[in-house]
Amino acid sequence: MTIATTNEPRCWIGCLQCYNEGRLVGDWYAATEAAEVTTSQLHGRPIPEHTHEELWCLDTDCIPVHREMDPAEAARWGEIHAEVGDDMWPALCAWVRSGSYVAEGDTDFPVLSDFEDRYCGSGWDSFQDYAEGLAEDIGLLSEVPESLQSYFDMQSWARDLAFDYVTERDTDGTLHIFRSY
Ligand SMILES: [Zn+2]
């Protein structure tokens, strides 16, 4: 038995033939195992070949796209989770949910190298807070005499800066910030 991590993608795999006959036969599996689940395993008894073989993920958990999917697709999400790590998974899911992310070809799968390049972090109350921290880090006002710095319109600067960023909140309210390019 594997120990489930907090954010590990899971899917409820069901048998489509049973489903069409009005019986809900299936179970929850870790997404990483989804592609290997056999029809006999799913039904808990040996199933004759070429029958009841169409398995489908009818529900998912901790996968950032919300729709039914092929078990192979769920397995790919499981691989991506393993690759990026459980700690970074909420940030990656937020990036995908924002809709403004880089996907592999015409799939919904995110490109991890772009994610790593663009993710700025989380933990700020607002984008304004992030912008103020950034202004400090880059020494935006270092040439401006201190007595004049309060005249700088930080809000307006942050507003313009926001065009180059994507922000997305988690269900727990955590704000994730990403560069747009
Ligand atoms: Zn069945």
Q: How far is the centre of ligand 1, averaged over its atoms, from the C-alpha of 14 (Å)?
A: 8
Please give the share of the chain, as a percent, with pLDDT higher than 70: 97
Cα of 25 vs centre of ligand 1, distance in Å, is 6
Give the Å distance between the CA of 71 and the centre of ligand 1. 15
Q: List pLDDT tens digits, range 135-158.
A: 999 999 999 999 999 999 999 999
Q: How far is the CA of 53 from the centre of ligand 1 (A)?
A: 7
Residue whose entry in the numeric block shows the structure tokens 């029809």 = 39
Q: Is the pLDDT of residue 168 over 60?
A: yes
* Rounded CA separation 166/177 (Å): 6
Predicted pLDDT at 3: 56
CA of 17 to the centre of ligand 1 (A): 5
Q: Which residues contact 152 (CB under 8 A, 6 or more apart)?
A: 141, 144
